[in-house]
Amino acid sequence: MRLAGPLRIVALVVTVGLTWIIGSILLGGPASGFPRIQQLFTSPESAVTAEPRARKYKCGLPQPCPEEHLAFRMVSGAANVIGPKICLEDKMLMSSVKDNVGRGLNIALVNDVNDLLKFIRPLHEGTLVFVASYDDPATKMNEETRKLFSELGSRNAKELAFRDSWVFVGAKGVQNKSPFEQHVKNSKHTNKYEGWPEALEMEGCIPRRSMAS
């Protein structure tokens, strides 16, 4: 008895059936109860929707400042290569891009001790003062300038030395020491750059009037 004919028929039926199943899996047809091939090769992690980027507020702060507060962010210079940045209420006051920074103390572009004293002495009561060092903040300072910065609320002005990193926000007429100050000493044992400590970054919200109260 010859079975070649029936076997060909069975093979044809099996082939057609497999083709229908595979087509249904790929196209999501009636056989969609089978796991789709794409799902077999998709990891659970890739199916997770990417989280939206965190919203940034004024000056890049992660949270908005309360009412009657000023948002600020400042970065000291990195060695003698990258200049400092001072941002206030989303306005960049100083940066290398604006071409208004220089080595020394960046309150404004001040490199001469006499100009620095003329700049600080006549400040009105309640005036905010933002300072970011670049390369070396101490060489152009004398005892009077250190005293003036101390009167503006600085704890570290009297200790500033060659090539220290320093950022500071103070105010004319402040009664207490400012909470907005960072200082890193120049030390060959801890310096991040050859001959300079790491750059400092500080941000926050400043009450419009209370710093001078």
For residues 74 and 84, the answer to whether their CB atoms sit within 8 Å is: yes
Q: What is the mean pLDDT of residues 92-100?
A: 88
CB burial readout 36-52, b (16+ within 10 A) else e: eeeeeeeeeeeeeeeee
Share of the chain above pLDDT 90, in %: 33
Sign of CA dihedral 136, 138, 141, 145: positive
User: What does the block give as tokens for 61?
Assistant: 């702060």
pTM for the model:
0.65
- In contact, 79 and 196? CB cutoff 8 Å: yes
Min mean pLDDT across 4-18, 92-106, 128-142 is at 4-18
- What pLDDT, on the 0 to 100 scale, is given for residue 61? 94
Mean pLDDT of 6-28: 52
Which of 7-16, 44-53, 143-152 has maximum average pLDDT? 143-152
Cα(123)–Cα(134) distance, rounded to whole angstroms?
23
Average pLDDT value over all residues in the chain: 77
